[in-house]
C-alpha cells in the first residue's frame, strides 16, 4: 500500500515545520527521508502517525484517508513507527517491553497473565530475530542504546505493520549494531514490509534505500534513487548551504 501526503502543513507558532509537503513513498521498498536538521522530518512522522494533527493537507495509506486519525487507528491500519529518542519502559524487562508495545492495557492488569502464551512466544521470536533474545529478562535500562533501539523495533514488529517508519535508527548506535540494523531492514523488506527511514548516516541511507525523498524547510526538494540523489544539485545545496 502506498503511503502519501498532499499539501501537508504544520506550524508551531511562527515556525513552519511542514510547508505544504506532497510526498509519495514506494510501496514494498526501502524509502529514506533525509534533510538538514529542522527540515520537518520528525514532524512529518508525527503527523502521519497521528501524534500531532496537521494544520492542512491530507494523509493517505492506500485508499484510506488517515488524516487526523488517532495513533492507534494508524497503527491498526498497518503503519508502525520508532522514535528518534527511543521509547522503552526502563524498569520493565526486554520481553515485557515487547509485550507492552502490542497491548499497553496489559500494564494495568499484570503483564504476564494478560498475555496468551502465543503472544509471549511471538515476543521471544522477535527478540531472537533481532539478536537480543539473551537479554529477554534484563531490565531495559541495562541495555545499550543500540539494543534499546532494537527492542523498540521488536515492539513495533509485534503489531505486524505493513509499513514501518524508523526515526534515526542509526543515531548513537555502534558500528557493529549499525550493520545489523541495515541487514535487518533489507531482510524485513524482502519479506514484504515497506520502510521509510529518517537517517543522517548517508552511508547507511545510500546503501539500503531504493528511493530517497529529500526535505528542505518542510517540503520535498528532490526524490529518486540513491544514484540520482547523490549528485542532485538542489540536495547538495540544501546540505552544504550553497
Using the minimum distance from each CB to ligand ATP, give the nearer residue, 52 or 114. Answer: 52
Using the minimum distance from each CB to ligand ATP, give the nearer residue, 5 or 162. Answer: 5
Bridge partners (DSSP) of residue 65 are 60
Least distance from ligand ATP to the Cβ atom of residue 45, Å: 8
Burial 174-197, CB ≥16 within 10 A → b, else e = eeebbebbbebbeebbeeebbbbb
Q: Of the ranges 30-38, 67-75, 136-144, 227-235, which one interacts with ligand ATP (CB under 6 A)?
A: 30-38
39: its cell numbers: 527540515
Q: Of the ranges 12-20, 61-69, 101-109, 118-126, which one interacts with ligand ATP (CB under 6 A)?
A: 12-20
Ramachandran quadrant class, 52 (left: phi over 0; alpha: psi -120 to 50; beta: rest): beta
Q: Of the ranges 11-19, 102-110, 129-137, 141-149, which one interacts with ligand ATP (CB under 6 A)?
A: 11-19
Measured between alpha carbons, how far is 194 from 185 in angstroms, rounded to an integer?
A: 9
Question: Is the distance from CB of 32 to CB of 185 less than 8 angstroms?
Answer: no
Using the minimum distance from each CB to ligand ATP, give the nearer residue, 38 or 172. Answer: 38
Using the minimum distance from each CB to ligand ATP, give the nearer residue, 42 or 194. Answer: 42
Q: x/- binding map, residues 22-51, to Mg ion, per CB under 5 A?
A: -------------------xx---------
What does the DSSP assignment read for 124-173? Answer: HHHHHHTT-GGGTTSBGGGS-HHHHHHHHHHHHHHT--SEEEEE-TTTT-
Element spanning 112, H or E: helix 111-114
Which among ligand ATP, Mg ion, none contacts residue 157 (Cβ within 5 to 8 A by kind)?
Answer: none
Measured between alpha carbons, how far is 179 from 202 in angstroms, rounded to an integer?
A: 13
Query: In angstroms, what CA-CA distances link 109 with 104, 106, 115, 163?
Result: 10, 5, 10, 30
Can residue 50 be called a binding residue for ligand ATP (CB under 6 A)?
Answer: no
Number of residues interacting with Mg ion: please give it, by CB under 5 A: 3
Number of residues interacting with ligand ATP: please give it, by CB under 6 A: 12
Among 30, 35, 48, 152, binds ligand ATP (CB under 6 A): 35
Using the minimum distance from each CB to Mg ion, give the nearer residue, 37 or 118. Answer: 37
Using the minimum distance from each CB to ligand ATP, give the nearer residue, 15 or 70. Answer: 15
The binding site for Mg ion (CB under 5 A) comprises 41-42, 84
The binding site for ligand ATP (CB under 6 A) comprises 12, 15, 17, 35, 37-43, 84
Amino acid at each position: 500500500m502506498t503511503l502519501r501526503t498532499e499539501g501537508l502543513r504544520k506550524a508551531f507558532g511562527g515556525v513552519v515545520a511542514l510547508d505544504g509537503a506532497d510526498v509519495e513513498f514506494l510501496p514494498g521498498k526501502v524509502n529514506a527521508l533525509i534533510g538538514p536538521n529542522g527540515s520537518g522530518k520528525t514532524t512529518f512522522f508525527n503527523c502521519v502517525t497521528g501524534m500531532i494533527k496537521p494544520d492542512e493537507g491530507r494523509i493517505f495509506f492506500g485508499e484510506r484517508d488517515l488524516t487526523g486519525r488517532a495513533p492507534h487507528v494508524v497503527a491498526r491500519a498497518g503503519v508502525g513507527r520508532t522514535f528518534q529518542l527511543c521509547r522503552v519502559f526502563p524498569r520493565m524487562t526486554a520481553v515485557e517491553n515487547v509485550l507492552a508495545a502490542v497491548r499497553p492495557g496489559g500494564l494495568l492488569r499484570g503483564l504476564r497473565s494478560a498475555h496468551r502464551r502465543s503472544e509471549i512466544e511471538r515476543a521471544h521470536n522477535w527478540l531472537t530475530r533481532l539478536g537480543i533474545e539473551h537479554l529477554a529478562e534484563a531490565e531495559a535500562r541495562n541495555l545499550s542504546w543500540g539494543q534499546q533501539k532494537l527492542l523498540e523495533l521488536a515492539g513495533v514488529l509485534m503489531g505486524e505493520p505493513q509499513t514501518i517508519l524508523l526515526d534515526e535508527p542509526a543515531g548513537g548506535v555502534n558500528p557493529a549494531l549499525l550493520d545489523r540494523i541495515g541487514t535487518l531492514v533489507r531482510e524485513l523488506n524482502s519479506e514484504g514490509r515497506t520502510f521509510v527511514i529518517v537517517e543522517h548516516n548517508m552511508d547507511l541511507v545510500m546503501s539500503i534505500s531504493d528511493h530517497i525523498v529529500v526535505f528542505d524547510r518542510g517540503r520535498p526538494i528532490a526524490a529518486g534513487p540513491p544514484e540520482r540523489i547523490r549528485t542532485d544539485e538542489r540536495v547538495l545545496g540544501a546540505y552544504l548551504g550553497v
